[in-house]
Amino acid sequence: MLMTKNILILPGDGVGQEVTASAIEVLDFIIKENKLDFLTKSMSVGGQAYEEFGTPIPEEVLNEAKKADAVLFGAVGGPKWDDLEWDKRPENALLTIRKELNLFANLRPAFLFNELSNASPLKEEIIKNLDILIVRELTGGIYFGEPRGVIIDQNPNYAFNTMVYNEDEIRRIAKVAFEAAQKRNGKLCSVEKANVLEVSKFWRAVVSEMSSDYPDVQLTHQLADNAAMQLVLNPNQFDVIVASNLFGDILSDIAATLTGSIGMLPSASLDSTFKGMYEPCHGSAPDIAGQNIANPLAMISSLSMALRYSLNQENISDKIDRAIKEFIQSGYRTKDIAVDDNYLPTSEVAEKIIEIIKNG
Ligand code: NAD
């Protein structure tokens, strides 16, 4: 028996609202076109929820997120809420959902459409054909490790954090990365600081031991500082990179910057059953919010990832990815990636993508 898939839509603040509206247009179209048994529900989150309910993540939203097969998350935040205490700040919604849903695997693809290589800070011959996937551990490591704290009654005062990973945490994130490499170009680079950190040495040993289960994947290891350098010098050597929370955070931002267009990059955060939250890599962009000029392709790509990983619709996901590619190849642009004044407003992008899918 086919089960109804539940999709929770959380547009959030600023351009989050605008880009999510575009993704909803595409989603509504594919549901109708393919007669998909999907149930969608939209709710407030972030600053918007704070204004309505006094909290950025109402209990009801969290419960719906836990029930959903996929959560589409726009972006949250804005100067209006910057001075609130942490539990009231819009960004808290994001971290609460990640934590409460145990979304330990963060998948951040970084790819370049060659037509947009002029937007990259790197030379065309280095960046051309870039297509990498960074798999970042998201619920462990130094960001959550205990003990942590600031001691201010000593001389000198000090602060400390704990970087800790157990074997199970390393295995489950490495498994996601090995399997992703199997579906891509069969190369996995595990990144740590095994030369100085015990936890990294342990990470390397566990990942190495697993590699015999994946004979079709070529496993390599790089130290985090070298990996950061290699991403800039020769990014095309990579296929899939797996890293801890801290190193993955840094490397995925470097990789995103290489493409030069933050409005193009999606992300997925998955639990062990492949339920997940899907969001663009960018924030709420208060500087351009309300102007109908945001690029919604990262959000539409995030929808495509949701269809692929959580909603069992790989074919439809492929169609959306192809449509985005054709959109760019046909010369359509949004303001952030346009070289002149010839660009589509946010509100017309989904219509164009749908037209391309229909003709495809
Ligand atoms: P940002 O990603 O919102 O914006 C950075 C720059 O990129 C801005 O110049 C913006 O105009 C541009 N940009 C972002 N998205 C774009 C799009 N779709 N199309 C075209 N241009 C786009 O980062 P920021 O300015 O550092 O943060 C703004 C707010 O967003 C802050 O409140 C921050 O806390 C929040 N934020 C939220 C998330 C999230 O919800 N996941 C992530 C990052 C930042």
Q: Please, which pLDDT band fits residue 360 given cuts at 50, 70 and 90?
A: confident
CA of 293 to the centre of ligand 1 (A): 13
pLDDT tens per residue, range 79-128: 999 999 989 999 999 989 998 999 999 999 999 999 999 889 999 999 99
Pocket lining: 106 vs ligand 1, CB cutoff 6 Å: no
Question: What is the residue whose two structure tokens read 């639990």?
Answer: 271
Question: What is the residue type of 308?
Answer: R
CA of 227 to the centre of ligand 1 (A): 26
Tokens of 54: 């006094």
Residues 227 and 195: their CA atoms lie apart, in Å, by 14
- Checking if the pLDDT of 1 tops 60, the result is no
- Checking if the pLDDT of 293 tops 60, the result is yes
| Atom 25 in ligand 1: residue holding the nearest Cα | 285
Read off the pTM: 0.93
Q: Is 87 a catalytic residue?
A: no
CA of 31 to the centre of ligand 1 (A): 29
Work out the percent of the chain whose per-residue pLDDT is above 90. Answer: 94
Q: Give the mean model confidence (pLDDT) for residues 48-55.
A: 98
Average pLDDT, the chain: 96
Residues 149 and 158: their CA atoms lie apart, in Å, by 9
Beta strands in the chain (DSSP E): 5-12, 38-42, 70-75, 105-111, 131-137, 149-151, 158-160, 187-192, 218-223, 240-243, 266-270, 276-280
pLDDT tens per residue, range 234-252: 999 999 999 999 999 999 9
pLDDT tens per residue, range 152-172: 999 999 999 999 999 999 999
Q: To test ligand 1's pocket by mutation, which of 18, 267, 282, 299 has the most ligand atoms within 8 angstroms of CB?
A: 282
- 187, with CB counted inside 10 A (0-12, 13-18, 19+), is middle
- Checking if the pLDDT of 2 tops 90, the result is no
Pocket lining: 320 vs ligand 1, CB cutoff 6 Å: no
pLDDT of 86 reads 85
Q: Give the mean model confidence (pLDDT) for residues 174-185.
A: 96
| Atom 33 in ligand 1: residue holding the nearest Cα | 77
Verify cis geometry, omega within 30 degrees of 0, for the bond prior to 79.
Answer: no
Of 5, 69, 193, 309, which one is the catalytic site residue? Answer: 193
Pocket lining: 300 vs ligand 1, CB cutoff 6 Å: no
